[in-house]
Copies of this chain bind each other. A is one copy, B any other.
Amino acid sequence: MVSPFSGHWLLENIDPYEAHMYAYRQSLHSGRTKYQTVEIIDTYKYGKMLLLDGKPQSAAGDEYIYHESLVHPVMIAHPEPRNVLIIGGGEGATLREVLRHRTVEKVIMVDLDEEVVNLCYKHLPQWHQGSFSDPRTQLFFQDGRQFLLESEERFHVIIMDSTDFSEQSLALALFTREFFELARARLDRPGVLVVQAVELSSLEYAKHALLRRTIMAVFPKVSSYRTYVPSFRADWGFIAASEELDPGDLDEETIERRLKERVGAYGGQDLRFYDSQAHRFLFSLPKDLRGFLSQDGPILEDSGLPPLDLTQ
């Protein structure tokens, strides 16, 4: 008997003292684009999984949890989101979730890496469900910050679905105070921004808190929320920010009514995860974590990173 133990494993070192291992059948793609390495592996447990620079981005088995959680709270919080901007989101699944909303007239998606988008288009049809060719979609291959600088458009919702940030990462310029000031200036009124905001739990909150403080230096209304993502084996954080809207304040009746009025199937698939009860737990944080997130500390600025260990 060959033990199931033998074979290919993706080993993710959460830090030097903890690791998570996924077994996979085979590599479906392995290469390097102009910006990053990109791989698609076929895991036994979570199905296809996209890795950028060696880090898991999303997996077939539960990508809906991440993408529904990223998109719907802010879309539902907005009274009528017609014009949406996505920065990142190369898999096309964030786009798919936005396009469920019948209020949406135009979605601009700006992703730096055309090759990644083409690979996702080819290998991950379950993710995009044809969203790239929806008539409401406009796709640009460009740096997201540069796009915002040059754009004259205003958006009801801006969704930041970039890779994680660290000292070396490409994505760092999408996480500084200066970036968020630019984003605020491009929001329509009312308007709301949401950012994927790294792991968030009672024991892992320092990096999320740094990002939260940065955003709070720019926006008056900031809400951290999170959900467990099985294939990450982690509670994953998000931050919603706005001048006037707070998704955490929505009552359940409003959520259910807006879902019913505005949101439908896409690619033949209804919402699977998000509803008013999901919304309730997303925005409810335990006592200790609320305490940790209210502490003072440095923020991320273009002029330089704070003396924090972002590399955990």
Contact = CB atoms under 8 A, between A and B. Distances in A.
Interface in A272-286: 272-275, 277-278, 280-282, 284-286
B16 A23 contact: yes
Interface of A: 1-13, 15-23, 26-28, 30-31, 37, 39, 43-46, 53-55, 61-62, 65, 166, 201-204, 227-228, 230-231, 233-235, 271-275, 277-278, 280-282, 284-288, 290, 311
A12 B5 CA distance: 7
Contact of A278 (B7, B22, B280, B286): B286
Q: Is the interface of A mostly helix, strand, loop or mixed?
A: mixed
Nearest to A10: B8
A228 B229 CA distance: 10
Copies held by the complex: 4
B20 A13 contact: no
B275 A280 contact: no
Contacts of A2: 13, 53-54, 166, 311
A187 to B, nearest CB: 28
Contact of A3 (B4, B10, B290): B4
Contact of A30 (B3, B26, B46, B230): B26
Contact of A280 (B17, B54, B204, B280): B280
